[in-house]
Structure 1
């Protein structure tokens, strides 16, 4: 019974707790709105439901950005009313421009900052459109809206933090603890040669999504937990180091796969003892949560492993040189050995950073690099244009018809377009919001005209509203039904919630819901017709953005380049993967481009680091032939990834081979080991780029 209750508490129990907290929040906010005699109690409840989230940190973050967006929208709208209150056409044009800019900003950021952008646009419309009818009271209406929104936010934050809180910091620690155990099993299987391609691809997509999600969680916990705030730099560093070690493993795994496809038995046989040493170490951590004390133990194990790995690699290289002296095999071995040794080093750095979380202050907190998300500018502009067009269409229809509910029509179209702009499938979300609103209209009609007239007192009102609110909260907890829940709760509160003085007017009620449903239908049509994001035009642009990440690794400044490359590549993949849901062929092609970009981008970054750290000796000078050959290779790679094609691939391949030849023919007095010879390390990275360009399964070959 105890185990069953524990399982229930972690699954369905979380849902029921959320529903209970939603009811407490709604009725507390509604009672205060009635008690304080606020003009629009429905605004208080709408704010409470929009901010409501399962985790208290998400509530606080969303509340903070909602207040910022509300104040910004308030300031803009007061200025617009002061300038254009007498001219509705100019007012609507400026309003459409402002809302379009805000929606484009929301599509650009795609996190809680996006929510601030949405609220800046939505608040301007919510205050501005009714204020055009009575501009003399616009300023007082704006103040009332701010008070109502603030009350809803306050109620939600207090209930979320006090009543059975589900903290974001706990979710973050759980994600950190379990993430490494899953990756350890994946890496152990890959190094031992037991990782199939399908599992590798699925894991790569999941790891990219986890990296983006972990960064969002880290930003949320800053608002909630002071202990996590003290560790914010280390958490950012931990996520960056995890992305780097997964990229290193991916590069090593791809190289090993190519060696197995070529049946390079001698190289694989020489490498196997080194691979198994790291694989067996990671196998012991498969499925285990990595807590702070465990991370310190893992760091000690990896430190011993690194000390033993270097002489073992030298010994294996000597044996390979005797049994198979071919230059190509020697380069393959050197490149794989370099990647393996660096992979062990990345694991060691990650374990040390994880172990440092045990203390409040640590030197590893000093981390300047940050997660750098990437968004497609054209997609953001299209979302803003779509929303601005809906504002103009709704406002024009309102002016032309003088419909009493025209303000609701225009306001709802903005809300729908703004909420759906950040969705990968705006048509689906708009349709869900419409159906949820239709359900709210049906329930609202029955409650307003058949139930509420027979009730007396606030407790009975709560009993009548509780089933509707509970149903909406339940739908919100299910990702596939979230739109239905938002549509039900938000528009039920807007049109069906009784004000301080109840109004039983069926004509007004039907007009309001008719305006909402018509504007939602218009938003659905706009989402279908005006460049929906889950279509090939955006997939291809995101694919182009992925390829350009290689160009940035060649041309951008070196400080912060690695973190920006890792985070930007994963964010683009995560976006593209979500937008192409239901199209496994598109997802597979995007994954293959991501693999190629990560491989070559990592090698270029390491090449640039090696060149930046070279000693001031004549053989390493900028004018040396091998340095000039590497620069020529960079220009050829820029042409290749900007314009993929067989001609550019062959040109880039020739440039890489020339750089390898020039590097190998440059004399160096240091011992020929990768831990002492910079040119040997440079040569291994050049050879890795060469193997990527020669890969028969590369998407560059598909372009041919």
Structure 2
């Protein structure tokens, strides 16, 4: 066996925080020491930088849940059915906000839901002492959260900076392999795995960046630098895919020119080289841009395709090299110049429908738990409701939480013998606080070590829950076998009931969720192409990359032959990025061209509205090809400013994505002169 020092330090830190928490709780004679001890391990996180924001959010959530409990329970004490309905609705609403938020702020809503549930349900039938009970629960949880945050910050103050650096370099490694494969035309079985890993790395960077204002050791790195890195990483995915798409069209219909083929070979060689050779990328980018301009000057369709491939290669290399430079500078002193054009945040895609489903399922489950408990007059029914609320809140964000709850049940069953051994064999021979902590050390350190392992951490929460709750940890030792069995049955009942309710209410398949994500993507694409709507390209790109990861993660669950496999989320992402320069060019072209470009955008918007309405993949209307070809012809015959040049490149790319099998357009030969002069056009 090998012992990981970092995981062991994490476990020791958690154990020390648990010891401090129990000492304070015992000294203050708080009524539920076991609840404070469990809160220590529920809130422990391996990264210290993540403690401070989560600590604040959790404390705010506990306070919010306590306020709601005190406001609702005494006023509805004579109507337990209405009280259960109100608390279930409140818990469901909090879970809705937590699933919708998808940032560390979600801990506020989770703790508000959970704290109100565990405080109120045990006292639904006897709410006379609700204020004292609420104060005790808040004090216990507050002591635990403060203890674990301070101890971990002192003993293992691991900064967010190396985590961000490792995540960025992980992305770059995946991007290198994936880019070489797609540029060489070898899209193998790992395609979805690479997409999922790339999009996941980009999204997680933003999650970690939220912690930076709370991380004093992250002085050399700022949120703005991370967001700039995040945007560059997000840009590499559609740009590499776009270049590969153009190369595929050229190879199938016209054959790749030797000059372009040589450029492609040098690009793949650079991608396969070590990071020390990144200085060569400037020459590659210049060569790509030179080849693109030469091809555009020739003006025929194969040349425009070659120009599109070349410029996408240049943009990809620039984004990749910039991301690599930013990643290498993370954690190093000194300022790094970042363009003002970068967005100040990275917007995540949010799905109100999935969040509503999670909240409604949580509320319905809690109502069912309480109905069974009250009708059966079960003495430990309140514990069942509390455990059910804990489990439901913990796994609310999953498409189908039942597999996770099943593993939770198995881990609980495995821990019961250990809890019984401690309660009936070890603890009767323990006298005093010091001996209690010494005897608990082996079990808690072992579970804490499991919690520090990302692969096994889901097992830790049920193990801690079973072990701590089953033993009680009251101020005076009590070894009551009937109480132990009753508590164990209550825990298992809460888990089994949660599993049953989850299978009834939350059996949303990955295929169903996948369709929702795709429809949301199509809806935003239609809005992006609608010239009547304002648009923020950075926000749209961020949400699309986020959805790209969600689609890649779920599409593997679609059965073979399903029409969802025909969906190319990267093609949608490429089309959206091509809409952006066309919209920007509208105010820089003559009226006739502006009309044609407007028809193109309207056709794209209608195409994605049709997909959203029918909830399936439909090909673009062939009539859209006419304004696209007319716009390409109108732009390529003029002397182009930068906006028009970008629009021409976008239209060529859009035609390849929407109509890959269409015949080459008939273009006017030769260029006319169009110069913008003051007071009119000449």
The alignment's TM-score, normalised by the length of structure 1, stands at 0.85
> Using a 3 Å threshold, how does the CA distance of structure 1 residues 557 and 111 change in structure 2: closer, same or farther?
farther
Residue in structure 2 matched with residue 693 of structure 1 by the alignment: 658
Which of 442, 453, 462 is residue 428 of structure 2 equivalent to?
453
> Using a 3 Å threshold, how does the CA distance of structure 1 residues 90 and 632 change in structure 2: closer, same or farther?
closer
Which of 390, 396, 399 is residue 365 of structure 2 equivalent to?
390
User: Structure 1: how far apart are the matches of 2:463 and 2:170?
Assistant: 36
Q: Offset at 1:687?
A: 2.3
User: Structure 1: how far apart are the matches of 2:623 and 2:219?
Assistant: 50
Which of 157, 162, 169 is residue 165 of structure 1 equivalent to?
157
Which of 609, 634, 657 is residue 665 of structure 1 equivalent to?
634
Residue in structure 2 matched with residue 258 of structure 1 by the alignment: 249
Which of 36, 41, 44 is residue 36 of structure 2 equivalent to?
44
> Using a 3 Å threshold, how does the CA distance of structure 1 residues 577 and 521 change in structure 2: closer, same or farther?
farther
> Using a 3 Å threshold, how does the CA distance of structure 1 residues 153 and 655 change in structure 2: closer, same or farther?
same
> Is the CA contact (8 Å cut-off) linking 2:195 and 2:548 kept in structure 1?
no
Residue in structure 2 matched with residue 484 of structure 1 by the alignment: 459
Q: Secondary structure at the match of 1:112?
A: coil
Trace 1:258-277 onto structure 2 (pairs within 5 A).
258-260=249-251, 262=252, 264-265=254-255, 267-277=256-266
Which of 380, 395, 417 is residue 405 of structure 1 equivalent to?
380
Pair 1:527-2:496 in alignment: no
Q: Offset at 1:50?
A: 0.6
> Using a 3 Å threshold, how does the CA distance of structure 1 residues 359 and 450 change in structure 2: closer, same or farther?
closer
Pair 1:333-2:306 in alignment: yes
> Is the CA contact (8 Å cut-off) linking 1:15 and 1:474 kept in structure 2?
yes
> Using a 3 Å threshold, how does the CA distance of structure 1 residues 455 and 645 change in structure 2: closer, same or farther?
closer
> Using a 3 Å threshold, how does the CA distance of structure 1 residues 143 and 337 change in structure 2: closer, same or farther?
same
Which of 185, 192, 211 is residue 220 of structure 1 equivalent to?
211
User: Structure 2: how far apart are the matches of 1:216 and 1:588?
Assistant: 33
Which of 594, 608, 625 is residue 656 of structure 1 equivalent to?
625
Which of 58, 62, 66 is residue 50 of structure 2 equivalent to?
58
Q: Deviations over 1:367-402 (max 9, x none)?
A: 444222123322222211221112111222222232
User: Structure 2: how far apart are the matches of 1:383 and 1:271?
Assistant: 51
Q: Offset at 1:89?
A: 1.5
Residue in structure 1 matched with residue 68 of structure 2 by the alignment: 76
Residue in structure 1 matched with residue 316 of structure 2 by the alignment: 343
Q: Offset at 1:31?
A: 2.4
Residue in structure 1 matched with residue 197 of structure 2 by the alignment: 206
> Using a 3 Å threshold, how does the CA distance of structure 1 residues 363 and 120 change in structure 2: closer, same or farther?
same
Trace 1:287-302 onto structure 2 (pairs within 5 A).
288=275, 298=278, 301-302=280-281
Aligned length: 660
Q: Deviations over 1:16-72 (max 9, x none)?
A: 333333322222322232233222111211111011111112233322221121111
> Using a 3 Å threshold, how does the CA distance of structure 1 residues 631 and 597 change in structure 2: closer, same or farther?
closer
Residue in structure 2 matched with residue 123 of structure 1 by the alignment: 115
> Using a 3 Å threshold, how does the CA distance of structure 1 residues 55 and 641 change in structure 2: closer, same or farther?
same
Larger mean CA deviation between 515-524 and 197-206 belongs to 197-206
Q: Offset at 1:479?
A: 4.4
Q: Offset at 1:360?
A: 5.8
> Is the CA contact (8 Å cut-off) linking 2:196 and 2:550 kept in structure 1?
no
> Is the CA contact (8 Å cut-off) linking 2:415 and 2:466 kept in structure 1?
yes
Which of 544, 551, 572 is residue 569 of structure 1 equivalent to?
544
User: Structure 1: how far apart are the matches of 2:75 and 2:615?
Assistant: 55
User: Structure 1: how far apart are the matches of 2:78 and 2:394?
Assistant: 30
> Using a 3 Å threshold, how does the CA distance of structure 1 residues 224 and 659 change in structure 2: closer, same or farther?
same
Q: Secondary structure at the match of 1:421?
A: coil
Q: Offset at 1:336?
A: 1.6
For the aligned residues, what is the CA RMSD?
Answer: 3.3
> Using a 3 Å threshold, how does the CA distance of structure 1 residues 355 and 229 change in structure 2: closer, same or farther?
closer
> Is the CA contact (8 Å cut-off) linking 2:77 and 2:127 kept in structure 1?
yes
Which of 611, 614, 622 is residue 641 of structure 1 equivalent to?
611
Q: Offset at 1:469?
A: 1.8
User: Structure 2: how far apart are the matches of 1:499 and 1:359?
Assistant: 51
Q: Secondary structure at the match of 2:163?
A: helix
> Using a 3 Å threshold, how does the CA distance of structure 1 residues 444 and 283 change in structure 2: closer, same or farther?
closer
Residue in structure 2 matched with residue 626 of structure 1 by the alignment: 596
> Using a 3 Å threshold, how does the CA distance of structure 1 residues 185 and 530 change in structure 2: closer, same or farther?
closer
Trace 1:452-471 onto structure 2 (pairs within 5 A).
452-471=427-446
Q: Deviations over 1:109-150 (max 9, x none)?
A: 234222221110111111112343443322222222222111
> Is the CA contact (8 Å cut-off) linking 1:409 and 1:518 kept in structure 2?
yes
> Is the CA contact (8 Å cut-off) linking 1:274 and 1:313 kept in structure 2?
no
Q: Offset at 1:439?
A: 3.0
> Is the CA contact (8 Å cut-off) linking 1:577 and 1:587 kept in structure 2?
no
> Is the CA contact (8 Å cut-off) linking 1:103 and 1:117 kept in structure 2?
yes
> Is the CA contact (8 Å cut-off) linking 2:17 and 2:148 kept in structure 1?
yes
Q: Which has the higher helix share?
A: 1
Pair 1:143-2:135 in alignment: yes
Residue in structure 2 matched with residue 544 of structure 1 by the alignment: 519
What stretches of structure 2 of length at least 5 have no aligned partner? 663-682
Q: Secondary structure at the match of 1:155?
A: helix
Residue in structure 1 matched with residue 290 of structure 2 by the alignment: 311
User: Structure 2: how far apart are the matches of 1:142 and 1:575?
Assistant: 40
Residue in structure 2 matched with residue 291 of structure 1 by the alignment: none
What stretches of structure 1 of length at least 5 have no aligned partner? 289-293, 698-704
Q: Deviations over 1:275-315 (max 9, x none)?
A: 34544444444xx3xxxxx7xx95x6545544444334444
Q: Offset at 1:465?
A: 2.1
User: Structure 1: how far apart are the matches of 2:535 and 2:457?
Assistant: 38
Residue in structure 2 matched with residue 420 of structure 1 by the alignment: 395
The alignment's TM-score, normalised by the length of structure 2, stands at 0.87
> Is the CA contact (8 Å cut-off) linking 1:543 and 1:593 kept in structure 2?
no
User: Structure 1: how far apart are the matches of 2:217 and 2:563?
Assistant: 42
Q: Deviations over 1:341-372 (max 9, x none)?
A: 33344346546755776556566385444222
Pair 1:246-2:220 in alignment: no
